[in-house]
Amino acid sequence: MTADDSKTLVLSTTSERKLRVVFALLLFSAFAAYFLYDGYIGYPARNAEALRNVLDPRPQEVLTINKAVHPRCVRIYGAGTPIADIEKDLGSAPWRNDDEIRWFGPAGSLKVIASGAVVKEIAWVWGPHDDVYLQRWIGFALLAAAAGFGLQCVRVMMTKAVLDETGLSLRGHRHIAFDEILHLDAGQLGVNGWLDLQVRHGSHKPFTLRLDAYVYDGLEELARRLCARKGWAMPDGPPAALPEEPGPSESHPAQR
pLDDT in tens, 55-102: 988 988 888 899 999 999 999 999 999 999 999 999 999 999 999 999
For range 225-231, the mean pLDDT: 91
Contacts of 161 (CB under 8 A, 6+ apart): 10, 11, 168, 169, 170, 171, 211, 216, 222
Higher pLDDT, 248 or 98: 98
Using alpha carbons, list the distances in angstroms from residue 141 to 5, 21, 30, 106, 209. 49, 18, 13, 20, 36
The confidence score (pLDDT) of residue 171 equals 87
CA 73/CA 67 separation, integer angstroms: 12
Contact 69, 104 (CB under 8 A): yes
Q: What percent of the chain has pLDDT over 90?
A: 76
Predicted local confidence at residue 60, as pLDDT = 82
For the chain, the C-alpha Rg in angstroms (whole number) is 33
206 — pLDDT class (breaks 50, 70, 90): very high
The answer, yes or no, to whether residue 242 has pLDDT greater than 50, is no
What is the pLDDT of the chain when averaged over all its residues? 89
| Phi, psi dihedrals of residue 22, rounded to the nearest 5° | -65, -40
Identify which of 168, 186, 180, 185 has the alpha carbon closest to the alpha carbon of residue 250: 180
pLDDT, tens digit, 9 for 90 and up, residues 163-173:
999 999 998 88
The model carries a pTM of 0.76
SS3 state of residue 196: strand
Q: Are 7 and 213 within 8 A, CB to CB?
A: no
User: Mean of the pLDDT values across residues 115-131?
Assistant: 94
**Does residue 4 register a pLDDT over 90?**
no
If DSSP codes are grouped into helix, strand and coil, which group holds residue 179? Answer: helix
**187-192: long-range pairs with CB below 8 Å, 24+:** 187/235, 187/236, 187/237, 187/238, 189/213, 189/219, 189/220, 189/223
Tens-place pLDDT, residues 27-42: 999 999 999 999 999 9
According to the model, what pLDDT value does residue 153 have? 97
Number of residues written out for the chain: 256
pLDDT at residue 203, as a whole number: 85
For 69, the 3-state DSSP assignment is coil
C-alpha to C-alpha distance for 107 and 140, rounded to whole angstroms: 18
d(CA 201, CA 182): 10
